[in-house]
Amino acid sequence: MAAAAPMRATAFGLDIEADAPLSFLRHATARPAGRPLSISVHTAETASELWPAGGELICDERLPGGDVNYRIYTHPDGGYLISGPEYGAHLLSADGRRLRCFPEGRPDGGWQRMLVAQVLPFAALLHGLELFHASAVVRDGQAIAVLGPSRSGKTSLALELCARGASFMADDVLALETRDGALLAHPGAPVAGIALEHDHEHERAKQADEQDERVLAVNARERIVRVLGAEEPAPLGTLLFLDRKADGPERPSFEATSDAQLLLAATFNFVLATPARLQGLLEVCALAARLRVELVSCGSGTGVPELADALERRLSL
C-alpha cells in the first residue's frame, strides 16, 4: 500500500510538512513563507526514549492549584522537550526545522492545542521571527494586534471584528517578521480558543457561518473552533492594549501610548534569551513603537459588541 501523501500547511511563518493529518492545521491556507518544518507523529514510542539524559529545565508552567501545566527542557544534542500531563510531548530540534510529536493517547484537543499554542510559535522563534502575546485580525489590508493578559477578551474581540468583515490572523500568539524596516504579521493556526464564560457572546457569529467556525474540541477552560484564517501576511499597523478593570470607564476610552514596558511585556516567549533573540526583540519593539499604539481602557462588564463598536469608530478617525 502506498504511503499517504504528507500534509502541508503554512502557519506562524512556517512551511509545515507532516506525516499525519493535523486537524488544527487542516485549513491553514497561508502562502508559503520559505521556513521549513517537518513534523512526524509517533504513536508507539515515547519522547523519553529519545530524549538524552541531563536536560536542563528552563520553563515550569503551573496551573493555579500548583499542578504542572507544561515544562520545557533543553539539551545541546536534543534541542527542546515540551511536555505536559494533558498535552503529551514534543521534541523540537534546536534549529526549529524538525518536530517529533508524541500524543501518548491524548485527544487532539490536548496535544494539538499545545502544538499550535506553544510548540509551533517556539519553532517560529527559532527561525528568527518574534512573538507577541496577541490576537490579531486584518482590516483594510493591515494587521491589528489586540494585546493584553489572559482572559482579557482578546480572542472574543478578534472574532467579533471578523463577524464584521475583518479576516482572522491569529489567536493569542502573533508571529512577526522584520522586513524592510517594517513589521510583517504572519497568519497563525486557523483555530480560536473561546473561554467558556465568553462563549455566549458569539452565538450570532457561530450561527452566521457554522462551516467557518466548527467545534474542534471543548475542555474545562475553552471551546476551540475552526475559523477562516487570513491567506497571506499583512503589515502590522495598529497595536491595542486591552486594560479591563472592575473600576474601568463605562464607555471604552483610547489613549495613545509610547510606554516601552507595554511592548516588552507583550512578548510571548521569555524562555529563549540568547543575545541574538534579545537583539531581535528590541528591534521589533522599536519598530512597533512607531506604529499606532493605544491603550484601551474599559470596565470589566463592557460587552464585546460595545467594545468593537468603539474600536471601529476609533479606527475610522
223, pLDDT greater than 60? yes
Residues 136-155 have a mean pLDDT of 91
DSSP string, 90-137: EEE-TTSSEEEEE-TT--HHHHHHHIIIIIHHHHHHHTT-EEESEEEE
Domains along the chain with CATH numbers: 7-127 (no CATH), 131-315 (3.40.50)
The residues, ordered by sequence, that sit 6+ positions from 14 with a Cβ below 8 Å of its Cβ are 33, 35, 36, 37, 96, 120, 123, 124, 127
First to last CA, the chain: 61
Residues 6+ away with beta carbon under 8 Å from 145: 132, 134, 135, 136, 174, 185, 236, 238, 239, 240
Of 15-24, 43-52, 55-64, which range is least confident?
A: 43-52
Tell which residue, 206, 198, 172, 157, has the closest CA to residue 304: 157
The predicted-structure confidence for 30-41, as pLDDT tens digits, reads as follows 999 999 999 999
Q: What is the pLDDT of the chain when averaged over all its residues? A: 89
CB neighbours of residue 197 within 10 Å: 11
* Euclidean distance between CA atoms 158 and 166, whole angstroms: 8
The mean per-residue pLDDT over the stretch 55-60 comes to 95
Q: Could you identify the residue written with the cell 472574532? A: 159
Percent of residues, the chain, with pLDDT higher than 70: 93
Cα 80–chain centre separation:
19
Q: What is the mean pLDDT of residues 182-208?
A: 72
Is the pLDDT at 121 greater than 90? The verdict is yes
CB 302 within 8 A of CB 152: no
For range 121-136, the mean pLDDT: 96
pLDDT at 207: 43
Q: What is the DSSP string of 230-276?
A: -SS-EEEEEEEEEEEETTS-SS-EEEE---HHHHHHTBS--S---HH
3-state secondary structure of 140: coil
Q: Pick left, alpha or beta for residue 238 (phi over 0 → left; psi -120 to 50 → alpha; otherwise beta).
A: beta
Element of type H or E holding 316: none
Q: pLDDT digit string (tens) for 89-112?
A: 999 999 999 999 999 999 999 999
Q: What is the pLDDT of residues 277-293, one digit of tens each?
A: 989 999 999 999 999 99
Cα separation of 12 and 194, whole Å?
20
